[in-house]
Amino acid sequence: MTGILGRKVGMTRVIADDGGVIPVSVIECSPNEITQIKTTEKDGYPALILGFDELKKPQKTRKFRHLAEFKIESESEQKKGDKISVAEFSEIKLVKVSGISKGKGTAGVIKRHNFSRGPESHGSHHHRQPGSSSGAVTGTGRVPKGKRFPGRMGSDKVTKRNVPLVAVDLEKNLLVVKGSLPGSVGTLIRIEAN
């Protein structure tokens, strides 16, 4: 079993048999094409490289907008040019989902690291500032690496494991998973069996 690449469509809800409401995310996974097969003899490990989102004007060196490598347990009987569709996920209950989270630009320490704010009284000069930046002035004489400061927030690779797969729509090439997914609508999503 390999994975598949898809695009986030959005969120909706599904009514369960007991009447409960399940928030779900919808991923559109048009069939991925196998562009390369890696073998243990040649490359040292077996894997498939899948192409997703075919370009309208294919170039000599590039046919797809996105390529991704998926490791497999043993040599595959599939050949280059075969398609992988959402039908592969019809028997699977849990998946691993990866994507790039929304970029939030430059953020302060209260938003980025959940710091507490200072007193709001008139005499205070410490409202949203990070506070002391040095840990040991006379010891190391520098700010230690990894200190929590204001900076760029978001646009990180986020992976969610053990995500329940709620439904598979073979006609529309849709995967429906429980909960939210990283990124905005249209974000590239990588789905693998857990």
1-12 pLDDT per residue, tens: 679 999 999 999
β-strand 21-28 against 174-178: which pairing, if any?
antiparallel
What's the mean pLDDT in 166-184? Answer: 95
**Going by DSSP bridges, is the β-strand pair 64-71/174-178 parallel, antiparallel, or unpaired?**
unpaired
Alpha-carbon distances of 75 from 42, 67, 82, 89, 164, rounded to whole Å: 12, 20, 15, 20, 28
pTM: 0.84
pLDDT of 109 over the 70 cut:
yes
- The structure tokens listed for 33 are 């094409």
**2-11, 60-69, 92-101, 132-141: segment of lowest average pLDDT:** 132-141
pLDDT at 136 exceeding the cut of 70 = no
Pick the closest to residue 4 from 113, 83, 81 (CA basis): 83
Q: Tell me what the mean pLDDT of segment 23-41 comes to.
A: 94
Instruction: Report the distance separating Cα 64 and Cα 137, nearest Å.
Output: 53
Amino acid at the residue 27: I
Cβ–Cβ < 8 Å for 27, 189: yes
Classify 97 as helix, strand or coil: strand
Separation CA 66–CA 58 (nearest Å): 13
pLDDT at 91 over 80: yes
Residue 42, pLDDT > 80, answer yes
pLDDT band at 135 (very low <50, low <70, confident <90, very high): low
What pLDDT was estimated at residue 138? 67
Domains belonging to the chain, first-starting first, are 4-30+80-103+149-193 (2.40.30.10)
Sorting pLDDT into bands at 50, 70 and 90, what band is 189? very high
Place of tokens 């990070």: 130
Q: Is the pLDDT of residue 69 over 90?
A: yes
Considering only 13-17, 143-147, 152-156, 175-179, which range has the smallest mean pLDDT? Answer: 143-147
